[in-house]
Amino acid sequence: MKTGGKSHPLASHDEDAEAFRSEMTGVEPISPHGRVVHDQPRLPPLPLSLLRDQREVILESMSDPVRLDGDIEQDSSYVRPGLSRQTLRRLRRGEWHIQAELDLHGLTKVEAKYELAEFLHECKRRGGRCVRIIHGKGLGSPNREPVLKLHVRHWLAQRDEVLAFVSARPADGGDGAVVVLLKGR
């Protein structure tokens, strides 16, 4: 069937499609949504043994076994090596003005350790020198023994900013509190 000197429309369509396919050899079609999807960079492998070791160190530090050595005397006082015993006497007599106070009643050991660290950091930031930390006498605890007393004193002895501490005077809490002298700026 001839249509006035023109070639059949289906024949030219086949030729155009073939020419198009030959020109597109090696070209990859884009995604159906019209966006280019880039390859995701590979993340480095996670060192699971390192993460496990770090977790164990954190848990071990929270268990915090209290060792009473020569630094913490039986009368619950401490003075950093190199400072005079006069510092302890002045603290016991109440010659230092107490500038801040932290009450740890009702906290667990983990909570108390965190609160103590935050409190000492804030005192250092503000320039506080003498503080009182109330840990309680243990009258409401099982066996009527203080839960936090030895832990608080142990933690304080480990802190670099603590110069000395003594049990508070009876008027300031007695055996249920400790008065702490901190480094100045």
DSSP-based three-state secondary structure for 110: helix
Look at the chain and report how many structural domains it folds into: 1
Distance (Å, rounded) from C-alpha 2 to C-alpha 8?
8
CATH of residue 140's domain is 3.30.1370.110
Q: Give the residue, 2 or 49, on which the prediction is more confident.
A: 49
What pLDDT score was predicted for residue 70? 43
How many residues does the structure list for the chain? 185
Q: Residue 185: exposed, middle, or buried by beta-carbon count in 10 A (0-12, 13-18, 19+)?
A: exposed
**Residue 162 bridge partners (DSSP):** 182
What pLDDT score was predicted for residue 5? 53
Distance (Å, rounded) from C-alpha 106 to C-alpha 32?
62
Inside any domain, residue 142: yes
Q: Residue 2: exposed, middle, or buried by beta-carbon count in 10 A (0-12, 13-18, 19+)?
A: exposed
Q: Is the pLDDT of residue 116 over 70?
A: yes
Inside any domain, residue 148: yes
Inside any domain, residue 60: no
* Contact of 96 with 146, CB cutoff 8 Å: no
Q: Give the residue, 155 or 63, on which the prediction is more confident.
A: 155
Inside any domain, residue 114: yes
What pLDDT score was predicted for residue 164? 94
The pTM assigned to this predicted structure is 0.60
Inside any domain, residue 70: no
For residue 90, the enclosing domain spans: 78-182
- The sign of the CA dihedral 102, 121, 156, 132 is negative
Inside any domain, residue 8: no
- The sign of the CA dihedral 18, 22, 26, 32 is negative
Inside any domain, residue 39: no
What pLDDT score was predicted for residue 74? 46
Distance (Å, rounded) from C-alpha 127 to C-alpha 165?
17
Q: Is the pLDDT of residue 73 over 70?
A: no
Q: Give the residue, 100 or 124, on which the prediction is more confident.
A: 100
How many other C-beta atoms lie within 10 A of the C-beta of residue 139? 9
Q: Give the residue, 144 or 164, on which the prediction is more confident.
A: 164
Inside any domain, residue 155: yes
For 46-96, the DSSP string reads: P-HHHHHHHHHHHHHHHH------TTS-TTS-EE-TTS-THHHHHHHHT-S
Mean pLDDT for the chain?
A: 79
Q: Give the residue, 38 or 98, on which the prediction is more confident.
A: 98
